[in-house]
């Protein structure tokens, strides 16, 4: 049974509010860098080292912020990393609750079908490419989509509003160009 968009929006707002109140603002793209660091550290054990002052790395990105990222590579079971894993597990559980992956593959929306056909592979490729472009742009701006737009706007951060304006300012015309046929 699909969740009503109003109920979903209220629940999402509540989760963000609780996250900020109890732990910290939600932002996850840095955790993908931490995952890369965990894999790289497994291949090259000298990547991250513990010092008297904390942690450091031979990688400049992991060493910045006084070794905060290097510490996360050495000790990944922190709130942010577990949150990212929980998002992937939650997405999987959602697919399974809706009838499994084979059901999800059959559910190509009518608007997509009218413009691009029935291929779920084409839809997944387009979604991946679009997500990659948005994530790349957000990281280029020094944050991530959830950190800038969702948590940022909730905290009345100017960068959050600018990112949201840019995201919607690009998304609306691109959608109008791509989706010319109506369902």
| pLDDT band, residue 103 (cuts 50/70/90) | low
Residue 101 — very low, low, confident or very high, per pLDDT cuts 50/70/90? confident
Domain that holds residue 62: 23-107
Q: Give the pLDDT confidence score for residue 40 in this predicted structure.
A: 94
Q: Same domain for 134 and 64?
A: no
Which residue, 80, 107, 134, sits at the end of a domain? 107
**Nearest C-alpha neighbor of 163 from the set 174, 175, 148, 151:** 148
Specify whether 103 is located in the same domain as 28. Answer: yes
Enter the pTM of the model: 0.66
Q: Residue 51: in which H helix or E strand, if any? A: strand 48-51
Q: Assess whether 27 and 79 both reside in one domain.
A: yes
47 belongs to a structural domain: yes
What pLDDT is stored for residue 50 in this prediction?
A: 93
Q: What is the pLDDT, as a whole number, of residue 104? A: 56
Q: Say yes or no: 181 and 158 in one domain.
A: yes
Domains contained in the chain, number: 2
The separation between CA 62 and the C-alpha centre of its own chain, rounded to angstroms, equals 20
Residue 159: how many other CB atoms lie within 10 Å: 15
Q: What is the pLDDT of residue 43?
A: 95
pLDDT tens across 137-160, in order? 777 777 777 777 778 888 888 888
Give Cβ neighbours of residue 33 (< 8 Å, ≥ 6 apart): 61, 62, 69
Q: Mark which of 79, 107, 135 sits at the end of a domain.
A: 107
| Residue 59 counted as domain residue | yes
């Amino acid at each position: 049974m699909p969740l009503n968009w109003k109920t979903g929006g209220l629940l999402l707002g509540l989760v963000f509010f609780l996250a900020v109140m109890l732990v910290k603002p939600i932002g996850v793209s840095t955790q993908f860098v931490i995952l890369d660091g965990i894999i790289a550290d497994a291949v090259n054990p000298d990547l991250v080292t513990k010092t008297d002052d904390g942690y450091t790395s031979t990688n400049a990105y992991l060493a910045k912020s006084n070794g905060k990222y290097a510490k996360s590579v050495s000790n990944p079971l922190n709130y942010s990393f577990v949150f990212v894993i929980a998002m992937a597990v939650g997405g999987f559980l959602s697919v399974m609750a809706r009838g499994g992956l084979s059901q999800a593959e059959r559910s190509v929306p009518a608007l997509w079908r009218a413009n691009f056909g029935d291929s779920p592979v084409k839809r997944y490729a387009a979604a991946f490419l679009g997500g990659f472009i948005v994530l790349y742009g957000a990281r280029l701006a020094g944050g991530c989509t959830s950190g800038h737009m969702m948590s940022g706007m909730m905290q009345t951060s100017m960068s959050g509003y600018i990112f949201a304006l840019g995201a919607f300012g690009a998304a609306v015309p691109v959608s109008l160009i791509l989706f010319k046929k109506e369902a």
